[in-house]
Structure 1
Amino acid sequence: MSKRIINQCLGVAFLGWCLSACTVPVKLVEKNANKSTPESYNNSQDSTNSAKTKWKEFFTDPNLASLIETALTNNQELNITLQEIEISQNEISARKGEYLPFVRLGGGAGFEKVSRYTSKGASDDMSEIRPGKRTPEILPDAYIGAFASWEVDIWHKLRNARKVAVANYLASIEGKNFLVTNIVGEIANSYYELMALDNQLDIIRRNIQILNNALSIIKQEKEAAKVTELAVRRFEAEVFKIQSLQYEIQQKIVETENRINFLVGRFPQPVQRSSQQFAALVPTKIYAGLPAQLLQNRPDIRQAELKLEAAKIDVTVARANFYPSLGLSASLGIRSFNPLLFVNIPQALLTSLAGDLMGPLINKNAIIATYKNANAKQIQAVYDYERAVLKAYIEVANQLSNIDNLEKNYNMKNNEVDALTKSTEISLKLFTSARADYMEVLLTQRDVLEARMELIETRMQQMNALVNAYKALGGGWN
């Protein structure tokens, strides 16, 4: 076979390799996220948004502000997230280093003894041709030099990988902001719950005192033969029931305090609060603004958007794996079997420069699967973003409705308490004048206790709805 035919065959083979290596699958369908939102919540075009208010201005209670401030420093989950941000930032530097040349400086020494019955051993043995000029049987070797390698980023695969790392880093920051929002909201809700429990405990203790006074009256009435032993026992049972409720509330106070202590990052200790001011708390007006503002105010939505951006770039990175990669390598140094000869330049000089072009030819299943997975993850990220937007809107709508209904509920509960308080006074007067049965007094006392407890519960729900609305709008992290 002539040299010309061999060269033609090699050329055809090389061309076939290039075509095969550069063949990529059909670009998969890219799904775009729907970023549209309703125009308003309640047909209002007012863009004033409570989410812009910093948490230090939104929560004016100094005890609550102190708890939040401490939590933002000591909370373990938040500090873990901060380290994740550090890891993401280091990932950017690592990705950037991958598309820059790698240069290493090093050296080494050793020796080599080759077999006489090899081509190298036979060529080293020059005694038969040039007597006395045989290469030493054991040959030392030493070198010092710089070695460089560089993958030329022709298809911007490595640069795009760095862009993915940047997007993930920014997403981790938004994740931290979302965690801060949740911590602020959880501490505020627990704080208001603790204040409500204190007030409920105070009501129970006052109610126990009232029932004990009523019990003493019942006992006097029994001695006067106006009531039976049954009345006395029923009132005693009611006192025991309320006392048991007192211990349940005390246990809830301990658990709520420790929930706050955990969020603050400290061991159990009393939580400073101004519970006596709870009854005077009035929920501040919340301004919802426009739904489109959620896209900027909610950290979880921004995090989902950045993850979507990273997923899209990941698809281009995975697609670039189908193209050939160009690698360059070079070295510069000195090498000799005797270190004393290092100074003999250029005889001891060691240099090299090489390039290689490689691409996938056979068995592309792995990179095809990687490409399809990247595209599937990009579609997942689209749905995740759309879900985050929908969830945010529904959370705001629910809390705005909750605030409105709780305000009406509180007014009705307040009227109920006033009516029952007056009926309690009337029932006691009627009982002492023998115009009412003891059960009427007992049931009225029970009703007024339940109504007062529910009134405090409703106030707590109002404050929680205010906090949750502030959080749903995207406030608390700034």
Structure 2
Amino acid sequence: MRIKHRNLFCTALVALSVAGCKVPAIVQREPNRIVPAAYATGGTDSSSTASLSWKQFFTDPYLQQLIDTALLRNQELLTTLQEIQIAKNDVLFRQGALRPSVGARLGLGVEKVGRYTSQGAGDASTEIDEGKEVPDPLTDITGAVYATWEIDIWHKLRTAKQAAITRYLATVEGRNFVRTNLVAEIADNYYELLALDNQLSIVQQNIGLQQNALGIVKVQKEAARVTELAVQKFNAEVLSSQSLEWGIRQRITETENRINFLLGRFPQPVPRATGEFFSLQPASVQPGLPAHLLTGRPDIRQAELQLAAAKLDVQVARKEFLPSLGISSAIGLQAFKPSYLLKAPESILY
């Protein structure tokens, strides 16, 4: 009986061990591919306001004139234009490496070797012409044309050229990003300036009304209708509004200076529209699709191109470890005396 219980216990233990050692099955979940039928405002139109030019979006002639001036004179934008020129020259440099290079050399030198050396002993026993020994010291006059060409067997030079082109396109996108930020910043400051002008006009109207009320209170005080406390209270209101007026004027000057800085010119009044602030209607913005918004941003395109250029640079660095094959040639004239240069073929070198 005891042996039977022992067998049952061993069987249960083996079953539990097999169940405990079982590998759990991989649970695969179906991805949720359900997306909204529309984006943002509920429309399905894929057109985006970002595809419009800034002249179509900003129709204020004063603002357009400011933006045109900034695109011509902004210092940061001019810096990006120089970076584009540098990248363009780098493309030309990389392209030139694929072609043979040709150069010319014209040299004049003097050599003095020891008499008791193999070269000195050989020169002393050698005659250039009958009865004429090799002069000592020996001059060297050389005029030659040479050419070199590296064969791009591993596509190293072509990859370097492609990296330079990609980096050039990245600098172009960087310029577009600077242009976009510049236009947005000028427009933001311009409309802030219009709002400050409108605020200043309202404060000046309030000051006029408060001054009239102060005059009425003074007349009432002379008629013993009110006390001096009422006069001082209205006077304090007038002074408070006047201090607010000067604060707004200070903000107007600061905003004008920011615009002038973006335009690359000295501080001066900024021409702008007057009396049209409340009639301004913001243009409707079409967001488009999120994917289009990402592809339309120049900073994202710049980052993508910079990453692609970095990958190409890694390929070029790896191919630098491989052997290279180059072809070089030269032809010219060389002699120790000018009159011997025209004696061919003895004076020809190659």
Q: TM-score, normalised by structure 2?
A: 0.83
| Equivalent position of 1:21 in the other structure | none
Question: Residue 81 of structure 1 contacts residue 176 of structure 1 at CA under 8 Å; is this kept in 2?
Answer: yes
Matched, 1:126 2:125: yes
Matched letter for residue 181 of structure 2: N
Report the equivalent of 2:202.
203
Aligned partner of 2:238 in structure 1 is 239
Could you list the runs of 5+ residues in structure 1 that have no partner in the other structure?
A: 1-36, 352-478
How many Å separate the matches in 2 of 1:41 and 1:92? 43
Letter in 2 for 1:204: V
| Rounded Cα–Cα distance in structure 2 between residues aligned with 1:251 and 1:88 | 43
- By how many angstroms is 1:225 displaced? 4.4
The match for 1:103 is 102
Residue 123 (structure 1) shift? 1.7
C-alpha displacement at 1:134, in angstroms? 4.1
The amino acid across from 1:313 in the alignment is L
1:312 aligned onto 2:311: yes
CA contact (8 A) 1:201 1:249 kept: yes
Q: Distance in 2 between matches of 1:295 and 1:308?
A: 16
**Letter of the 1:280 counterpart:** S
- Work out whether 1:212 is the aligned partner of 2:211: yes
1-side partners of 2:217 and 2:108: how far apart?
Answer: 106
Please give the per-residue CA displacement for 1:3-58, whole angstroms capped at 9, x wherever unaligned.
Answer: xxxxxxxxxxxxxxxxxxxxxxxxxxxxxxxxxx9984455432121112111111
Which amino acid in structure 2 is aligned with residue 187 of structure 1?
Answer: I
Measured in 2, the distance between the counterparts of 1:321 and 1:40 equals 50
Alignment pair present for 1:263 and 2:262: yes
- Looking at structure 2, the residues matched to 111 and 262 of structure 1 have their Cα atoms a distance apart, in angstroms, of 62
Q: CA contact under 8 A between 1:334 and 1:348: conserved in structure 2?
A: yes
Q: Cα distance, 1:267 vs. partner?
A: 1.8
CA displacement at 1:154 relative to structure 2: 2.1
Residue 112 of structure 1: how far off its partner (Å): 1.9
CA-to-aligned-CA distance 1:205-255 (integer Å, 9 cap, x gap): 111111122223333444454443322222211111110110111111111
Which residue matches 1:141?
140
Distance in 2 (alpha carbons) for counterparts of 1:70 and 1:304: 28
The structure with the greater share of residues assigned to helix is 1
State how 1:185-196 maps to structure 2 within 5 Å: 185-196=184-195
Give the aligned residue type for 1:328.
I
Tell me which moved more, 113-122 or 75-84.
75-84
SS class of match (2:275): helix
Q: Which residue in 2 is equivalent to 1:169?
A: 168
What is the percent sequence identity of the aligned residues? 54
Query: In the TM superposition, what is the alpha-carbon distance from 1:285 to its structure 2 partner?
Result: 1.0
The alignment yields a C-alpha RMSD, in angstroms, of: 2.3
Distance (whole Å) between structure 2 residues aligned to residue 314 and residue 200 of structure 1: 56
Offset of residue 62 of structure 1: 1.0
Q: Which amino acid aligns with 2:292?
A: Q
CA distance in 1, matches of 2:197, 2:48: 33
Q: CA deviation at 1:296?
A: 3.2
Q: Following TM superposition, by how much is the alpha carbon of 1:340 offset from its aligned partner in structure 2, in angstroms?
A: 1.8
1:346 Cα deviation after fit: 2.0
User: How far is the alpha carbon of 1:315 from its aligned partner?
Assistant: 1.1
Partners of 1:133 and 1:71 in 2: CA distance: 78
Secondary structure of 1:305's partner? helix
Alpha-carbon distance between aligned partners in 2 of 1:333 and 1:206, rounded to the nearest angstrom: 91
| Matching residue of 1:385 | none
Asked if the contact 1:50/1:287 (under 8 Å) is kept, the reply is yes
Q: How many Å separate the matches in 2 of 1:153 and 1:108?
A: 32
1:283 aligns with 2:289: no
Corresponding residue number in structure 2 for 1:248: 247
Q: Is the 8 A contact 1:108 1:143 kept in 2?
A: yes
1:87 to partner: Cα distance: 1.2
Contact kept in structure 2, 1:99 and 1:158, CA below 8 Å: yes
Give the superposition deviation at 1:268.
Answer: 2.0
Q: Deviations over 1:338-363 (max 9, x none)?
A: 22222322222211xxxxxxxxxxxx
Partner of 1:349: 348
Q: Deviations over 1:177-213 (max 9, x none)?
A: 1111111111111111111111111111111111122
Structure 1 position 132, deviation (Å):
5.2
| Distance in 2 (alpha carbons) for counterparts of 1:269 and 1:87 | 34
Question: What letter matches 2:201 in structure 1?
Answer: D
User: Equivalent residue of 2:230, what SS?
Assistant: helix
**Higher-Rg member (1/2):** 2
State the shift of 1:121 in Å: 0.8
Bigger mean CA offset, 276-285 vs 134-143: 134-143
Q: Is the 8 A contact 1:59 1:65 kept in 2?
A: yes
Q: Which residue of 2 aligns with 1:334?
A: 333
Aligned pairs for 1:48-127 (under 5 A) are: 48-126=47-125
CA contact (8 A) 1:41 1:291 kept: no
Contact 1:334 1:342 in 2 (8 A): yes
**CA distance in 2 between partners of 1:81 and 1:259 (Å):** 20
Q: Distance in 2 between matches of 1:236 and 1:313?
A: 74
Residues 126 and 133, structure 1, Cα contact 8 Å, conserved in 2: no
Structure 2 counterpart of 1:291, one-letter code: P
1:47 is matched with which residue? 46
What TM-score do you get using the length of structure 1 for normalisation? 0.62
Rounded Cα–Cα distance in structure 1 between residues aligned with 2:243 and 2:124: 104
Q: Deviations over 1:100-126 (max 9, x none)?
A: 222211222222221011111122222
The 1:40/1:346 distance shift into structure 2, 3 A limit, reads: farther
